[in-house]
Amino acid sequence: MPDKGVRCHSYISFPQCMAINHQDLPHCLRQRYATRLLEHNSRGHVTIFTHYFVMYIPKANTMKQINSFLFDSEARIYEGYMKTAKFGLQFKATLENVTNVKPLGDDFRWFLKLKCGNCGEIPDKWQYITQVESVPLKGGRGSASMVQKCKLCSRENSIDILGDTITPYNAENSERFKTMVQFECRGLEPIDFQPQAGFAAQGAESGTKFPEVNLLEKDWTDYDERVNESVGIYEVTHQFIKC
């Protein structure tokens, strides 16, 4: 815990530094650096400064020592946020007389809501990514399905579909979660998914193909004329896991 020389009740720890709630800084220091702490984002009682962080130095009782706490650590924090992470989208539904439920084609649109790992911003609108779209990353570090700049903190983040991880949801998986696809993320975290058109399925016994499955309503029904029975996908839900 921080020494009582600097009153700090809320903080986020980083290697040898921490972000302090600006209300916990001495008043004179808060005024002096008010114009420099331009970008911040409140999360409960914690304020994350994206340009200036406060380093804890034991027994810091003088103004000179307190001033030395402030330093520009944006590059260090940015590097930490930009570490690559993989997230799996797990699909769950009740299947009736169908199997091999899967996204159809490389142009399938994965509609997601994405959270910025730097400031926590979550856009209201759904965003979609596909395998056919590829955007180069800065510094020649490869490419991604989408590269975007956060509207709140201006960080450039990216997400990429790992095509070789796409797996169909089969009859034996019914009513259980199964990972359907994985995403490689830099600075982003997927937090919600909206299934829409573009899925396909086939009859569990007949093999009849159903190439136009729309799961926007979380339920889909049809009729398999080969075996004279109804088919359906019901109670579609999902969750994300970190891989």
Position 5 in a domain: no
Same domain assignment for residues 36 and 94: no
**23 and 140, same structural domain?**
no
Pair (207, 107) in one structural domain:
yes
pLDDT above 70: residue 220: yes
How many C-beta atoms lie closer than 10 Å to residue 119's C-beta?
20
Q: Are residues 90 and 204 located together in one domain of the fold?
A: yes
- For residue 6, is it within any domain? no
Tell whether 236 and 152 lie within a shared domain: yes
In a domain, 123, yes or no: yes
Residue 33 has pLDDT above 90, yes or no: no
The answer to whether 48 and 146 are in contact (CB under 8 A) is no
Give CA torsion, residues 88, 199, 238, 111, to 10 deg: 70
pLDDT in tens, 133-182: 999 887 767 899 999 999 888 889 999 999 999 999 999 999 999 999 99
Entry pTM: 0.68
Answer yes or no: is 43 within a domain. Answer: yes
Compute the half-sphere exposure of residue 181: CA atoms within 13 Å on the CB side of its CA. 26
35 and 104 belong to one structural domain = no
| Domain identity same for 99 and 76 | no
Question: What does the CA dihedral 194, 200, 204, 209 come to, rounded to 10 degrees?
Answer: 160
- At which of 80, 98, 120 does a domain end? 80
Strands 146-149 and 156-162: antiparallel
For residue 100, the enclosing domain spans: 84-242
Q: 96 and 32, same structural domain?
A: no
Q: 221 and 101, same structural domain?
A: yes
Assess if residue 4 is contained within a domain: no
**Domain end marker among 80, 96, 127:** 80
CA-nearest of 98, 93, 94 to 227 is 98
For residue 70, being part of any structural domain is answered with yes
Which among 56, 80, 104 is the end of a domain?
80
Residues with Cβ < 8 Å from 172, sequence gap 6 or more?
none
Given this model, what pLDDT does residue 82 score? Answer: 54
pLDDT at position 43 is: 37
Average pLDDT over residues 93-115: 98
The total of other beta-carbon atoms located within 10 Å of residue 235's CB is 10
Q: Count how many domains the chain has.
A: 2
In a domain, 224, yes or no: yes
101 in a domain, yes or no? yes
Pair (107, 214) in one structural domain: yes
